[in-house]
Copies of this chain bind each other. A is one copy, B any other.
């Protein structure tokens, strides 16, 4: 006995628009595509018996990823959370510090701060990028902080605000130049959470390469996947060396001795996952083209529906269009759940924004600025089916 669904003409129109682009469904929110050398590399990996934390695919994946991004170094790890954790430690985050992160992000960003014994401090977004609003943040920091001994101190809590972690939401680049200027002016280490933005650039430069370090994710729902995986990106040799050391149990190289010179982590990406990554990376340009094509098709359809707006890449940026994002006008925001129900019931997987960080039980008491933009976005945002294969050109 399923209860009668409340009718919504807008929901029906959105279901139709999605079906016009992706077909009748069912379609997932985001599925990986394995159409290249995955198979061959996995076989090579098994045949070599090197499936674990040492092996040629890990080194190759790191080299090819760094080259693709135009970064000097990449260190492959088990997932994006691990990448953030280690990057924050290397950025000097200490127990009792605060770290500025978006309120609109996946929980991993906040958890990574907690793993360092530090406290996340939540920042508002701007609608044009969905990411950190540098003007609002600057004004806020001007009021609540003071610089003492070259450190930014939160006057209300007395804690040092050590770092700032902008996140390129759904693949759309944040106003990174604005954010960098705030970080410089307030003595904040900048760690760029590029978990969602592999392939996204600002003025031709890859996201994740602007800060002290960048972090990536290759989870199964990302543009390319290694099963589980992530990476730390840096142009600084010493930071990259430290990242590799900390993620490989801080073991000092020796033919047979076990010498660990600090508390490290078992965060190294296994070779079998990296084998998958090497094959996926080869297909990234094709995947990005398809995702852009999918955006264009959605944009054409949604242009015909009033009171909804498909998120386009910010100015001077190129987005990877990881997750297509629909924003409802305020006047129809109360229909969000109807639309989510109608689309999911039609087999078209959609989802709302993450629950904002300051609403989650473990982070309710964390410091935060006023969050009018993300609270508005939360009410109005819907992610659409976004897999590259929904707009892949036929082969041959």
Contact = CB atoms under 8 A, between A and B. Distances in A.
A43 B262 CA distance: 40
Contact of A362 (B106, B111, B260, B340): B260
Contact of A270 (B39, B53, B228, B340): B228
Interface stretch (A61-69, A186-194, A217-225): A217-225
A148 interface: no
Among A80, A260, A262, A352, the one with the most B-chain Cβ atoms within 10 Å of its Cβ is A260
A96 interface: no
A260 B43 contact: no
A283 to B, nearest CB: 13
Nearest to A382: B256
Among A264, A271, A272, A360, the one with the most B-chain Cβ atoms within 10 Å of its Cβ is A272
A153 interface: no
Contacts of A273: 227-228, 270, 272-273
Nearest to A360: B260
Among A220, A264, A271, A340, the one with the most B-chain Cβ atoms within 10 Å of its Cβ is A220
How many copies of this chain does one complex carry?
2
Given A50-B220, A227-B273, A276-B272, A351 B256 contact: yes
Among A107, A114, A115, A228, the one with the most B-chain Cβ atoms within 10 Å of its Cβ is A228
B111 A220 contact: no
Mostly helix, strand, loop or mixed at chain A's interface? loop
Contacts of A108: 249, 266
A150 to B, nearest CB: 28
A386 interface: no
Interface in A1-39: 31-34, 38-39
Contacts of A202: none
A394 interface: no
A130 B216 CA distance: 42
Contact of A39 (B43, B114, B219): B43
Contacts of A39: 43, 46
B78 A228 contact: yes
A232 interface: no
A115 B227 CA distance: 25
Contacts of A268: 228
A143 interface: no
A324 to B, nearest CB: 15
Nearest to A230: B266
Interface in A78-120: 78-82, 106-108, 111, 114-115, 117
Contacts of A111: 249, 263-266
A388 to B, nearest CB: 12
A255 interface: yes
A140 interface: no
Contacts of A251: 107
A266 B227 contact: no
A268 to B, nearest CB: 7
9 closest cross-chain pairs (CB), A and B = A52-B220, A227-B270, A81-B266, A228-B270, A227-B272, A256-B351, A258-B354, A51-B227, A107-B260
16 contacts: A32-B51, A34-B51, A51-B220, A51-B227, A53-B220, A81-B266, A115-B115, A256-B344, A256-B352, A257-B352, A258-B355, A260-B355, A261-B360, A261-B362, A262-B361, A272-B272
